[in-house]
């Protein structure tokens, strides 16, 4: 029997080992979850909402404990971990408050004596979730899918199995009906056979583009729906009329939250050339105020990366970019040695298409600065990417900013004068190689239901 291992990125020590479920155990868990579906969906939606209200209370009461667990397993600064747990509670409350309205029958006037649209759950939904937001990613899937009447099985990232077990434990603590949500302790090699299981009706994945393509291919072969939230290389356009003090503040938050390890982090800063030097000078001064250190220290804003392997991959991307002609403008000091996963905050300038820092997703604390001749050139550069998750535009001309965000930027979200982030009240998803489908808002809860026409003569 193989084990999944959680490694502390501060010192590369083993946090825990978790025996991987056997094929027999996997099938038994899925069977038990499927068996719970009829009971769970038969509850009134208001009853399901009440369970999630209690789940929200439980999350908030243990936020420090769960933040410590995230810091231990993947290096998230403790204050950011607490904020993540609070946000997970928020998404539970949001759907508990709004799902009955979202899923109420919608009458449609036709020639029938009565016709309407009903929203019915599908059954077992398989969630494949990443390590970077180990609580938020799970609850933004679970709250809408399960309040709609579905049941869930989770395959969490191998290195955050402590978080996965804690989440499963919360459903038991709140005394949900047995087996409506279970964690599968499995590696990625077992994902395809779970998708093939006839009791699994749909799949939600947040992760890399390559993982999304593999899951979509397998799910397509067995005609099962997928929602995919994948990688990103979000462009932030800074026009010459922007307020640079406020702009650089937003850009820094957008880049360095979670040590830059976010699909929707700011990754390419496209600056009109007349203000490029000013932007660089201001943002470097702000970077110097960041605290790189122990994630258990409340003052820390940047912790280690998730693993030594991730750190080394980012270092290689930076090196290739510099070798290709980009300039290293700034590099912070870190408590680095071969036994931890800290990576310095790096600012690269004169980044061009064809370089890793332009073409690829850099998943860590690296700022890539790109010069644009003018607004039109900036928009071309922003869209010159295989990704399309989020994008931002900074300008004092709000109407022009709105026009660019809405009509010009190829992304699932366009923000004006602020950094891109998810919000339970707004749909979240991407285009191009950043995936398809939506999470959150009224649109997210409709992804895993049968939108059913009822027609009465």
Q: What are phi and psi of 210, to 5 degrees?
A: -65, -40
Residue given tokens 């936020």 in the structure block: 63
What is the percent of the chain where pLDDT is above 90? Answer: 98
Residue given tokens 């799949």 in the structure block: 203
Cβ–Cβ < 8 Å for 2, 185: no
Question: Annotated active-site positions, please?
Answer: 229, 263
pLDDT band at 334 (very low <50, low <70, confident <90, very high): confident
Radius of gyration of the chain (CA): 23
The span from the CA of 441 to the CA of 429, in Å, is 11
Average per-residue pLDDT for the chain: 97
Q: Edge-to-edge strand order for the sheet containing 106-107?
A: 106-107, 114-121, 449-456
pLDDT of the residue at 29? 98
Structure tokens at 346: 């790096």
How far CA 368 is from CA of 225, 373, 455, in Å, comes to 36, 17, 56
pLDDT above 90 (res 358) = yes
Q: What are phi and psi of 121, to 5 degrees?
A: -65, 160
Summarised one tens digit per residue, pLDDT across range 268-295 is 999 999 999 999 999 999 999 999 999 9
Residue closest to 164 by CA, chosen among 57, 29, 340: 29
pLDDT above 80 (res 338) = no
Residue given tokens 């403790």 in the structure block: 78
The span from the CA of 301 to the CA of 299, in Å, is 6
The span from the CA of 271 to the CA of 362, in Å, is 19
Higher pLDDT: 337 or 223? It is: 223
pLDDT above 70 (res 336) = no
Q: What are phi and psi of 122, to 5 degrees?
A: -95, -35
Summarised one tens digit per residue, pLDDT across range 388-443 is 999 999 999 999 999 999 999 999 999 999 999 999 999 999 999 999 999 999 99
Burial status of residue 298 (CB atoms within 10 A of its CB: 0-12, 13-18, 19 or more): exposed
Region of 456 on the Ramachandran plot (φ > 0 left; ψ -120 to 50 alpha; else beta)? beta
pLDDT above 90 (res 57) = yes
Mean pLDDT of 32-47: 98
The span from the CA of 275 to the CA of 283, in Å, is 12
- State the SS3 of the chain: CCEEEEEECCCCEEEEEEECCCHHHHHHHHHHHHHHHHHHHHCCHHHHHHHHHHHHHHHHHCHHHHHHHHHHHHCCCHHHHHHHHHHHHHHHHHHHHHHHHHCCCEECCCCCCEEEEEEEECCEEEEECCCCCCCHHHHHHHHHHHHCCCEEEEECCHHHHHHHHHHHHHHHHCCCCCCCEEECCCCHHHHHHHHHCCCEEEEEEECCHHHHHHHHHHHHHCCCEEEEECCCCEEEEECCCCCHHHHHHHHHHHHHHHHHCCCCCEEEEEEEHHHHHHHHHHHHHHHCCCCECCCCCCCCCECCCCCHHHHHHHHHHHHHHHHCCCEEEEECCCCCCCCCCCCCCEEEECCCCCCHHHHCCCCCCEEEEEEECCHHHHHHHHHCCCCCCEEEEECCCHHHHHHHHHHHCCCCEEEECCCCCCCCCCCECCCHHHEECCECHHHHHCCCEEEEEEEEC
The span from the CA of 63 to the CA of 71, in Å, is 12
pLDDT band at 118 (very low <50, low <70, confident <90, very high): very high
Mean pLDDT of 93-109: 98
Summarised one tens digit per residue, pLDDT across range 242-256 is 999 999 999 999 999
pLDDT of the residue at 1? 66
pLDDT above 80 (res 259) = yes
Summarised one tens digit per residue, pLDDT across range 304-317 is 999 999 999 999 99
């Amino acid at each position: 029997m193989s084990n999944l291992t959680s490694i502390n990125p501060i010192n590369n020590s083993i946090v825990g080992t978790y025996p991987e479920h056997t094929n027999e155990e996997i099938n038994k868990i899925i069977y038990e979850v499927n068996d719970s579906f009829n009971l769970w969906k038969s509850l009134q939606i208001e009853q399901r909402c009440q369970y999630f209200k209690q789940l929200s209370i439980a999350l908030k009461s243990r936020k420090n404990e769960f933040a410590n667990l995230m810091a231990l397993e993947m290096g998230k600064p403790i204050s950011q971990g607490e904020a993540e747990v609070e946000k997970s509670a928020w998404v539970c409350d949001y759907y508990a408050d709004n799902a009955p309205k979202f899923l109420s029958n919608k009458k449609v006037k036709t020639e029938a004596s009565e016709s309407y649209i009903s929203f019915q759950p599908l059954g077992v939904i398989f969630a494949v979730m990443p390590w970077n937001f180990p609580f938020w990613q799970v609850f933004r899937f679970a709250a809408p899918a399960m309040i709609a009447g579905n049941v869930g099985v989770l395959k969490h990232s191998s290195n955050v199995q402590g978080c996965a077990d804690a989440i499963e434990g919360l459903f038991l603590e709140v005394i949900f009906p047995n087996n409506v949500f279970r964690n599968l302790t499995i590696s990625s090699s077992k994902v395809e056979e779970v998708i093939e299981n006839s009791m699994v009706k749909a799949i939600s994945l947040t992760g890399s583009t390559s993982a999304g393509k593999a899951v979509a291919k397998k799910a397509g072969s067995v005609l099962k729906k997928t929602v995919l939230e994948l990688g990103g290389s979000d462009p932030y356009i800074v026009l010459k009329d922007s307020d640079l003090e406020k702009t650089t503040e937003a850009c820094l938050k957008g880049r360095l939250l979670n040590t830059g390890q976010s699909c929707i982090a700011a990754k390419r800063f496209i600056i009109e050339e007349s203000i490029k030097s000013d932007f660089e000078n201001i943002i470097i001064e702000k970077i110097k105020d960041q605290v790189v250190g122990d994630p258990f220290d409340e003052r820390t804003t940047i912790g280690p990366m998730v693993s030594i392997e991730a750190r080394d991959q980012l270092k290689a991307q930076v090196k290739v970019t510099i070798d290709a002609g980009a300039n290293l403008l700034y590099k912070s000091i870190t408590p680095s040695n071969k036994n931890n996963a800290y990576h310095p905050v790096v600012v690269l300038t004169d980044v061009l298409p064809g370089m890793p820092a332009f073409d690829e997703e850099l998943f860590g604390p690296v700022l890539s600065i790109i010069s644009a001749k003018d607004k039109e050139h900036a928009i071309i550069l922003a869209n010159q990417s295989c990704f399309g998750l989020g994008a931002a535009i900074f300008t004092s001309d709000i109407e022009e900013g709105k026009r660019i965000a809405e009509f010009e930027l190829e992304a699932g979200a366009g923000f004006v004068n602020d950094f891109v982030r998810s919000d339970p009240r707004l749909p979240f998803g991407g285009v191009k190689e950043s995936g398809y489908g939506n999470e959150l808002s009224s649109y997210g809860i409709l992804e895993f239901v049968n939108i059913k026409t009822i027609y009465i003569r």
